[in-house]
Amino acid sequence: MEEAVKVRDAATVMLVREGAQGLEVLLMRRASGHAFMADRWVFPGGRVDARDADAALEGALSQPFEAAEGLADDEDAARAILIAALREVFEETGMMLATLADAADDDASLAAIFGAEPERWQRWRRKLDTGSASMVAFLNALEEVAGQPVRLNAAGLHYYARWITPDFESRRYDTRFFVARAPAGQTVQVDARELVESRWIGPTEAIEAYRKGAILLAPPTLCVLEDLRRFEAPGDLARLFADIEKASIDPVLPQLLDKAPEGDEAVLVLPGDAAYREERVDVEAARCPPGRTLQERSGVTRVVRRDGQWWTERR
């Protein structure tokens, strides 16, 4: 009997800002030689590592710490997911979501610290990325320069969505999507290893670029961008965060339709689609909380591959 692929916890962060035309989100292109999603434009993020569950990081998050409902089975697992999200943002973008105990403006204070010694903090970024230094050591170094306690800004992460890689994939992730305001004064610096290009872009513009073949997107990224289109008008950023506070986050576990309609290469059905079969949901692997339904919030119920490209549909 074939052994099931282990589902690994992961976190990704949609950094957003108010652009000239409205909401912009940060997309980054993965290196062409990468084993997973090569050349795809993605949000910063990655899998949760053992180091994210280090007991020494228990007090590293901004207080008070409250695990979001449905984020994980227990507080320790939820904390590790949040730490992974914040760590990955720094490793992949060079931007830090953190709070300083006595600072009137956290973003301005951190921007000044990083701007004064950019090479020093880039070295720390590489050390974190390679695992040669711990987050505890990094925060201690940052506190020494700041002259005050520094905490990772968990409150700045807003739980937005949860996607689980289908069971037919060779790599499976239980990915929590967060939305966070981009820290003012800090600029994006791609790591040039895993990610090689970045772009601030509106959701509709990103989808249109994908349709034209200018960028490559994976189905979850495409679906989330579809949902963000509801909030991309000028001044809608506040409405986005207000909507998040009211939303119930249910896991999305796509299923491959057994037989695609003529003309379609493949069809991924999502919760809410008439063809979605609840009895096939791998609840144990997905670690879905008992009694919770699987529901995709944006209204998209299937993603169809046609002529080499994924298209979203609502049925």
Closest among 292, 112, 123 to 191, alpha carbons compared: 123
Contacts of 51 (CB under 8 A, 6+ apart): 131, 134, 135
pTM as predicted: 0.91
Contacts of 254 (CB under 8 A, 6+ apart): 163, 166, 219, 268, 269, 270, 303
Which tens digits make up the pLDDT trace of 125-136?
999 999 899 999
Question: What confidence score (pLDDT) does residue 290 get?
Answer: 44
Which tens digits make up the pLDDT trace of 133-161?
999 999 999 999 999 999 999 989 999 99
Map out the domains of the chain with their CATH numbers.
7-247 (3.90.79.10)
- Bridge-based pairing state of the strands 302-306 and 22-30: unpaired
Residues counted in the chain: 315
Question: What confidence score (pLDDT) does residue 292 get?
Answer: 47
Using the Cα atoms of residue 125, residue 101, residue 109 and residue 79 in order, give the sign of their dihedral.
Answer: positive
Nearest 5°: the CA angle 297, 298, 304 is: 115
Q: Which of the residues in the chain have pLDDT under 70?
A: 1-3, 34-36, 63-69, 279-298
